[in-house]
Amino acid sequence: MSRRILILSSDITGRGHKSISDSIVEEFDIFEGEEINVKVIDCFVMTGSFAKMIGKSYGTVTRNAKFIWKMIWDISTNRPEIFIEMTENALREKLLEWIKEFNPDLILSVHPNFNAPMINIMRESKIKIPFVIFLADIISISKMWVDKRADLILCPTEESKGRALSFGIDERKLKVTGFPVRKRFCEKDGHIFWGEKYDPKTQLECLLMSGGEGSTNMKAIAVILMTKFNCKVRIVTGNNTALRKRLESTLVPEYNGRVEVFGFVDNIQELMFISDIAFVRGSPNVMMEAIMCNVPIVITGFLPGQESENSQIIEKYNLGVECYNNKNIEKVMNDLLANGAEKLNSIKVSQREYREPGAAANIARFVIDLIDKQ
């Protein structure tokens, strides 16, 4: 039986939504005995020059003007109708063209900006297609994420389900799936990856990253680590090419052999697999990919509003620690490494118990089941 699924996503507002849609598509591609045709569309690209410009500004804003991002988050939480109306008007013609051309059996959205607008457009046009939302945030869910008219809302965590319930969503429409990550983060050499227990007698392998856009506090953290601890540091600056050049010209000559600097990489899982600890921003995608690779994390920052609560889950399940002040890096590291790295290794055990390698497969199954019920 052939099925057609249209996924609404975005490539230009960070890499998180794309990695989620990619992980789900992977599962549809290997669905046993099924013919599934999936089309992923970047809705920001379809909305015209103004909205596209806003989407492309994500990197600059999240790096250099977080107060603007907080303002945007507050508006989306308190006055979502502003964004909904603007997006709906910009998307209407293009989305109707896609629906007519592709004739999907189901629409899956992994981006909050497109949920209410898509449902509004479909209702106005009397289009009856199941609409499913996957919540791409693990706890801080804004009103734009949830819509009572959706047929199904898939939640990555119990905490995100609880937040959806607080917005009045019928619990029967909510399913917890786990957070989907691409297979290369789940498996190594064809098997689920299990990190080895860290031996404190060996050099510590540290990974510094901050989402796809890089972060300017990486140099300070790297210097503290290499000055105070027996470690090697690998830094991933993502799309922030200016930061990469700066770090290469300053850190590499001074700490030759103990530091490597990378720009955007498409094999970040390989760096995670060989790391004993990762310093990351509180991005749900980065955190969950690191957890899947069984590398303890230190959260060094977050986007206001959207990511501000994520550390609660990390601490609740002993998946890592937070450290928002560089002055505390040395103390946090000493705590992790004390008593033969007892805390660091306990985090590795907790991560193995918490992670859900089958999350993307769970999402695929819920989607197919919903289509089959129609």
Burial of 211-221, coded b for 16+ CB within 10 Å and e otherwise, reads bbbbbeebbeb
My answer on whether 21 and 149 are in the same domain is: yes
pLDDT (tens digit per residue) in 102-128:
999 999 999 988 899 999 999 999 999
My answer on whether 152 and 199 are in the same domain is: no
My answer on whether 246 and 146 are in the same domain is: no
pTM of the model: 0.86
pLDDT at 330 over 80: yes
Average pLDDT over residues 147-154: 97
My answer on whether 31 and 98 are in the same domain is: yes
My answer on whether 262 and 193 are in the same domain is: yes
User: What pLDDT, on the 0 to 100 scale, is given for residue 57?
Assistant: 47
The single-letter code of the amino acid at 103 is: N
Packing angle, helices 284-292 and 16-29, rounded to 10 = 50
User: What pLDDT, on the 0 to 100 scale, is given for residue 52?
Assistant: 47
My answer on whether 315 and 198 are in the same domain is: yes
pLDDT band at 50 (very low <50, low <70, confident <90, very high): very low
Total domains in the chain come to: 2
My answer on whether 103 and 210 are in the same domain is: no
Burial of 151-165, coded b for 16+ CB within 10 Å and e otherwise, reads bbbbbbbebbbebbe
| CB distance 300 to 318 below 8 Å | no
Cα torsion through 364, 188, 313, 15, rounded to 10: -70
| Weakest mean pLDDT among 161-175, 243-257, 347-361 | 243-257
Q: Say whether 131 sits in a helix, a strand or coil.
A: strand
How far apart, in whole angstroms, are the C-alpha atoms of residue 134 and residue 118? Answer: 14
pLDDT band at 211 (very low <50, low <70, confident <90, very high): low
As a whole number, the mean pLDDT across the chain is 86
Average pLDDT over residues 171-184: 96
My answer on whether 157 and 225 are in the same domain is: no
My answer on whether 226 and 123 are in the same domain is: no
CATH of residue 134: 3.40.50.2000
Cα torsion through 9, 81, 169, 149, rounded to 10: -70
My answer on whether 200 and 160 are in the same domain is: no
My answer on whether 137 and 235 are in the same domain is: no
pLDDT band at 214 (very low <50, low <70, confident <90, very high): very low
Residue 330: CB partners within 8 Å, gap ≥ 6? 224, 228
Range of the domain at 83: 2-180+358-373
My answer on whether 224 and 312 are in the same domain is: yes
Tokens 């020059």 sit on residue: 49
